[in-house]
Structure 1
Amino acid sequence: MSDTTSWDEQDEQAILDAVSAWVEKEVRPIARRHDQADTYPHELVEQMKELGLFGATIGQEYGGLGLSARTYARIVIKVASVWMAPSGIFNSHLIMASAIERCGTEAQKRHWLPKMATGEFRGGIGLTEPNAGTDLQAIRTVARRDGDSYIVNGAKTWITNSMHGHGLLLLVKTDPQAEPRHRGMSMLLAEKGDGFVVANKMSKLGYRAIDTCELVFEDYRVPADCLLGGEEGKGFLQAVGGLELGRINVASRGCGIAAGALELALRYAQERETFGKPIAQHQAIQLKLADMATRVEGARLLIEQAARKYDAHERCDLEASMAKLAGSEAGVFCASEAMRIFGGYSYSTEYEIERYYRDAMLMCIGEGTNEVLRTVIAKQLVERNRI
């Protein structure tokens, strides 16, 4: 993310208004159809290019909008409040861009960021493997130096943007014997080519329509000048260095799901009648709505706090972890409570709420499981408050 930006609050509000209008006009009408058919929303991708979403947090000097994390989080919340899945198309892409802007050489920034800002090149992050998720140091994908290139062999799984995107920021082991393990890890800017095999699109409970795939690399060559930062052994730190923004993103997606579920439940509770009055007048429903609204607003405030610290270049691992925990759990809670409010109709695909329920749980797993995040939060609390 750019250190400076010429946007003022009025400009950023205009962007938020444009995104909100787009979400209501273009995203909401097609969400159910694409989700149920599990078909990629190509039309939305073209519209995202026009809106500048692929360059939202990329610095203006590289052709991006250079938006603050705070404004970007609000955009993600709005998109996810209607349909969470499309936010993954530009989220994963921008995490890759952020790593290049943060850790790349100037030549790498000049080459990759302008075409990423326009959406000409759409990317993602290749971290997870069949045997390595939270424990990234356990990856087995190896990149062996061979002259002016690296030869990559291995496999990745659960990789967003891997079928319809153009490449990935790929975490590999350039020195499998290194101890500690993280010193042998590097990041490669990997554009699709021979040996980059999209082996299988995964069938998922939720987060449908977005290409989440298993990948195989078979003697896949990457030019040596595509080593992120130009130095081997920095990959693990480059990957975890982007966790704060990634967790703010996932927190915002969870909060968006929660806000959208609340909106649907509020409307339904005023339309549906039992025993001669709208169910919104029954105390049992009122208690649910109150708890849902409180969870949504609590998550918003934690996201805002983390984003402000991120924008100020202050340490925010504790705040981002708390925001991600609160936002994702709010999504699960509100989607579940909304299902109860909708009653039997919640099980019908004719109503949108079942999609929120299916999408919500992923936010508790992705970008660090909430169980791991609780330990991160606790350790940071102790570290910051030693007696």
Structure 2
Amino acid sequence: MIRDQDLLEQLLGTIRDFVKNELVPLEHQVAETDQIPESIVQQMRELGLFGLTIPEEFGGLGITMEEEVNVAFELGHTSPAFRSLIGTNNGIGSSGIIIDGTDEQKQKYLPKYASGEIIGSFCLTEPDAGSDAASLKTSAVKDGDYYILNGTKRFITNAPRAGTFTVMARTNPEIKGASGISAFLVEAGTAGLSLGKIDQKMGQKGSHTCDVIFENCRIHKDQLIGGVEGVGFKTAMKVLDKGRLHIAAYSVGSAERMLEDALNYAIERKQFGQPIANFQLIQAMLADSKAEIYAAKCMVLDAARRRDLGENISTEASCAKMFATEMCGRVADRCVQIHGGAGYISEYAIERFYRDVRLFRLYEGTTQVQQIIIAKNMIKAATA
């Protein structure tokens, strides 16, 4: 749902200019230094990018899901590291509080997320619990007005600079499945909370992940999101549905950028006395990529509109995430092929994008997990 087309176009135009004039020129530097310049972070704060999805009453822009995916299309035209920095505040780092938090929790944290004063992170994955999130082992034992947290979370985006950690922990060991899991908000600097070394990843330099470790970490009961035990996993799933749609949209934007670069290269690169864009086998790769991007974009927009209407889009979000991220991988491969040997050289952005976009098919639920969700929802609907 688009609330005001003119205002949305102004926002998208501002983001488009910021991406083109400020972020794209810094892509190589960020990849080399593994750091986003603080001047860029400050510009992101001033543009309100940390609070895009946070309700207006808490200082954000409160954009709808359809508006959000349109923003993601634009942000996808540059290095994923930039989106990753603002992504947790607009998604998994704040959504748990927006969806299920108490009034006090919303008043305390959401304005700080919106302004970019603090960055939120989302701690679900563990060394032995990834796709099978309901099997997590991190525990939260009640001790009077406090909970004692113990466990390790893995691959936590933005953890090295996070101000808060949304932590999924088992509060009822008697319940082995999802119903025994609760969600907590733990502030950085809390005694017993520590960070592992920053992960060295295949791609996405400038976007940092690491382990988050809880050793007898004592937190007040007021930090239990929503003030109710046993709903944490349900909160996580609500958050992930939205996040999957966002990643699908971002994958579309990244694919558009890669195809644009490949098309320009094919027009400029000459072999046998003419641009390689004239060769039909090159044209086939360009056309296949364009068609798949279009299909993914239609899926994302449809699912976003359905979510804004209040529909349950669990199946549609998984479909969009699965198709768009797999599409993005295929487009990346074709675009390297169109570049030929140049596509394997870091001088060209496609070499970096080829590595960066591989992660899209893994986080927010792997492609295989999306397949299982889709099929289970189909079977449930057919046998209801």
Please classify the TM superposition score into its range, dividing by the shorter chain length: over 0.9
**Gap regions ≥5 residues in structure 2:** none
How many positions carry a matched residue from both structures? 382
Q: CA deviation at 1:180?
A: 4.2
* 1:118 and 2:115 aligned: yes
Q: What are the superposed Cα offsets for residues 40-93 of structure 1, whole Å, 9 maximum, x if unpaired? A: 443322111111111111111111101011111121121122212221122222
Q: Distance in 1 between matches of 2:193 and 2:36?
A: 21
Structure 2 partner of 1:19: 15
Once residues 84 and 290 of structure 1 are traced to their aligned partners in structure 2, the CA distance between those partners, rounded to angstroms, is 25
1:30 pairs with 2:30:
no
Q: Distance in 1 between matches of 2:57 and 2:9?
A: 21
1:184-213: per-residue Cα shift (whole Å, max 9, x none)?
Answer: 211111111222111110000012211111
- Where in structure 2 are the equivalents of 1:6-85 lying within 5 Å? 7-85=3-81
Aligned equivalent of 2:186 = 190
CA contact 1:187–1:228 (8 Å) conserved in 2 = yes
Residue 167 of structure 2 is matched in structure 1 by: 170
Contact 1:41 1:209 in 2 (8 A): no
Residue identity in the other structure for 2:60: G
Contact 2:36 2:82 in 1 (8 A): no
Give the deviation of 1:385 after TM superposition.
5.0
CA contact (8 A) 1:84 1:256 kept: no
Q: Contact (CA 8 Å) 2:51, 2:89: kept in 1 or not? A: no
> Contact 1:325/1:370 (CA < 8 Å) preserved in 2?
yes
User: How far has the Cα of 1:149 moved from its partner?
Assistant: 2.1
Q: Distance in 2 between matches of 1:59 and 1:295?
A: 33
SS of structure 2 residue aligned to 1:107? helix
* Structure 1 stretches of at least 4 aligned residues deviating more than 6 Å after TM superposition: none
Deviation at 1:183, TM superposition (A): 2.1
Q: Deviations over 1:287-323 (max 9, x none)?
A: 0000010111111111101110111111111111111
- Contact 1:256–1:331 at 8 Å: present in 2 too? no
1:365: Cα distance to partner? 0.8
Q: Does 2:260 match 1:266?
A: no
- Specify which of 302, 306, 322 is matched with residue 303 of structure 2: 306
1:92 partnered with 2:88? yes
Of 211, 214, 219, 2:216 maps to: 219
Task: After TM superposition, give the deviation of residue 382 of structure 1 in Å.
Answer: 3.9
Structure 2 counterpart of 1:303, which letter? V
State the shift of 1:38 in Å: 1.8
Cα distance in 2 for partners of 1:135, 1:386 equals 24
Q: Which amino acid aligns with 1:347?
A: Y
Moved more, 35-44 or 377-386: 377-386
**What's the CA shift for 1:179?**
2.3
Contact 2:89 2:114 in 1 (8 A): no
Moved more, 86-95 or 16-25: 86-95
Residue 199 (1) aligns with residue 199 (2): no
2:259 aligned with 1:247 = no
- TM-score (structure 1 length as normaliser): 0.95
